[in-house]
Amino acid sequence: MQPGQPLRIGIFLFEECEELDWAGPWEVLAYWAKNFPDDRVEVFTLARSLEQIRCAKGLRVLPDHSWETAPPIDVLVFPGGAGTRRQLGDELLRGWVQAIAATGALMTSVCTGALVFADSGLLHGRPATTHWSTLDLLGQLDPTVELRPDDRFVDTGDVITAAGVSAGIDMALHLVRRLHSEERAKEVKRGIQYDPQPPV
Amino acid sequence: MQPGQPLRIGIFLFEECEELDWAGPWEVLAYWAKNFPDDRVEVFTLARSLEQIRCAKGLRVLPDHSWETAPPIDVLVFPGGAGTRRQLGDELLRGWVQAIAATGALMTSVCTGALVFADSGLLHGRPATTHWSTLDLLGQLDPTVELRPDDRFVDTGDVITAAGVSAGIDMALHLVRRLHSEERAKEVKRGIQYDPQPPV
């Protein structure tokens, strides 16, 4: 992050990305950005192109930016979803993920977004987590990953991985705390009334 | 719900609807629909028209249906957001909400969606909740409403209101339980790994 520049958070969208994987962090981070303008945070969605994205459960979203039009990214949020599978081994995507990481951006994943990070070499020798159903696959993609099945998210400094789907909300609140303060994270939590009471 | 017909759940979108208000229930209900096809559940978004919707924090979404193209609705999810304010007193919207309710649909709101329900007369003499910041306004819109500030959601039979933003996730899991079974709701909860651990 350069002095005088806003903190730019890009949320990556792709075909069959899981809706809550990105919508949870979006809400937390965009609530922060909108309600605390003096913090100078910008949140936007981006995708390979500007075409509409059809998410894993069918929701259709229009990305704010493409790879070409996106401003520099300080924090990347990479969601999971069924669409991550066909991204494994995609050299173009690997190159883009690695290029963003090489700029010093904070790389964060939700759910099976961790698979793409592993496939791009970002998790080598690190602890990490993913959706509970793909922990084995994560270990196969990179056997040096120390799997953390019981962690809601794993912060290794420049890479953060979160567990499945709804864990992105917790991870994003952690981001607000880490990038600003515990007080701010509590204000955002209060704003979105995040006092979960699962009825089952 | 007619015999032989699927259970149709419509999630209403409008300008400046709050993203997680609808994306939380969407994830829960669409996960249910997609992963348990034998349950015959259909989930779709709808809006007044098919034009793109710009949500409260700037996300742009394309609705699946308009008022004109939508199939019969068994369950309506009405989110909140800044856009609810200009809907108060909107006779066209009131008429649509009342018409859906008159078909016997289960009417559910998240966050300030309850304000629209109150404005449409749906909460008269009932207990209800909304986002913590608008409980007073809810009471002003209909003084016969019994405010429930401490409830995550309030189920009165044919109308359910949820508290702010993230409370829609809990309400939607309740819907799965009520409309199917506790077991199914637990399966959905497990699928979206909804074991919240707010870090602050």
Q: Name the A residues in 122-151 with CB < 8 Å from any B CB.
A: 131-132
pLDDT score for B5 = 87
Nearest Cα neighbor of A25 from A198, A185, A195 is A185
Residues of chain B with pLDDT under 70: 1-3
In three-state form (DSSP H/G/I as H, E/B as E, the rest C), the secondary structure along B44-55 is: EEEECCCCCEEC
Q: For chain B, how many structural domains are there in total?
A: 1
Of B24, B164, B186, the CB nearest to A200: B186
pLDDT tens across B151-198, in order?
A: 999 999 999 999 999 999 999 999 999 999 999 999 999 999 999 999
Q: Determine the residue of chain A that is closest to B63 in CA distance.
A: A60
Q: Determine the residue of chain A that is closest to B50 in CA distance.
A: A60
ipTM topping 0.95: yes
**pLDDT tens digit at each of 200 positions of chain A:** 445 789 999 999 999 999 999 999 999 999 999 999 999 999 999 999 999 999 999 999 999 999 999 999 999 999 999 999 999 999 999 999 999 999 999 999 999 999 999 999 999 999 999 999 999 999 999 999 999 999 999 999 999 999 999 999 999 999 999 999 999 999 999 999 999 999 99
Contact A14, A45 (CB under 8 A): no
- Clarify whether A55 is annotated catalytic: no
Contact A62, B61 (CB under 8 A): yes
Q: In what order do the strands lie in the sheet with B41-47?
A: B65-66, B41-47, B7-12, B75-78, B106-109, B159-162, B153-155
Residues of B in contact with A169 (CB under 8 A): 166, 196
Q: Name the A residues in 75-104 with CB < 8 Å from any B CB.
A: none
Query: What is the Cα–Cα distance from B5 to B61, expressed in whole angstroms?
Result: 28
Residue A197 lies in a domain: no
pLDDT score for B179 = 98
Measure A68 CA to nearest chain B CA, in Å.
19
Residues of B in contact with A165 (CB under 8 A): 27, 191-194
Residue A148 lies in a domain: yes
Q: Are A27 and B34 inside 8 Å of each other by CB?
A: no
Among candidate residues A111, A114, A123, A172, the one labeled active-site is A111
Reported as type and span, the H/E element at residue A135 is: helix A135-141
Measure A130 CA to nearest chain B CA, in Å.
10
The residues of B that are catalytic are 111
- Which string of b and e fits A16-47 if b means at least 16 CB within 10 Å? bbbbbbbbbbbbbbbbbbeebeeeebebbbbb
Residue A177 lies in a domain: yes
Residue B200 lies in a domain: no
Q: Are A30 and B58 inside 8 Å of each other by CB?
A: yes
Residue A182 lies in a domain: yes
pLDDT score for A3 = 57
Q: Are B198 and A173 inside 8 Å of each other by CB?
A: yes
CATH classification of the domain holding B102:
3.40.50.880
Contact A196, B196 (CB under 8 A): yes
Mutate to test the interface with A, among B27, B152, B179 (most CBs of A within 10 A): B27
Residue B44 lies in a domain: yes
Q: Determine the residue of chain A that is closest to B162 in CA distance.
A: A193
Residue A31 sits at the chain B interface (C-beta within 8 Å): yes
Nearest Cα neighbor of B183 from B172, B173, B197 is B173
pLDDT score for A5 = 87
Contact B189, B24 (CB under 8 A): no
At B34, list the tokens: 């997609």
Q: Determine the residue of chain B that is closest to A46 in CA distance.
A: B59
At B80, list the tokens: 């909140």
Q: Which domain holds residue B158?
A: 7-191
Of B27, B43, B60, the CB nearest to A165: B27
Q: Name the A residues in 35-54 with CB < 8 Å from any B CB.
A: 43-45, 52
* A117: phi then psi, degrees, rounded to nearest 5: -60, -45
Of B33, B182, B193, the CB nearest to A165: B193
Using alpha carbons, list the distances in angstroms from residue B133 to A39, A195, B23: 23, 15, 21
Show the beta-strand stretches assigned E in B67-151.
Answer: 75-78, 106-109, 127-128, 146-147
**Cβ contacts of B57 within 8 Å, gap of 6 or more:** A26, A27, A30, A31, A33, A34, A43, B18, B19
Q: Are A189 and B200 inside 8 Å of each other by CB?
A: yes
Q: Determine the residue of chain B that is closest to A11 in CA distance.
A: B59
Residues of A in contact with B60 (CB under 8 A): 61-62, 64
Contact B141, B88 (CB under 8 A): yes
CB-facing half-sphere around the CA of B112: CA atoms within 13 A: 22
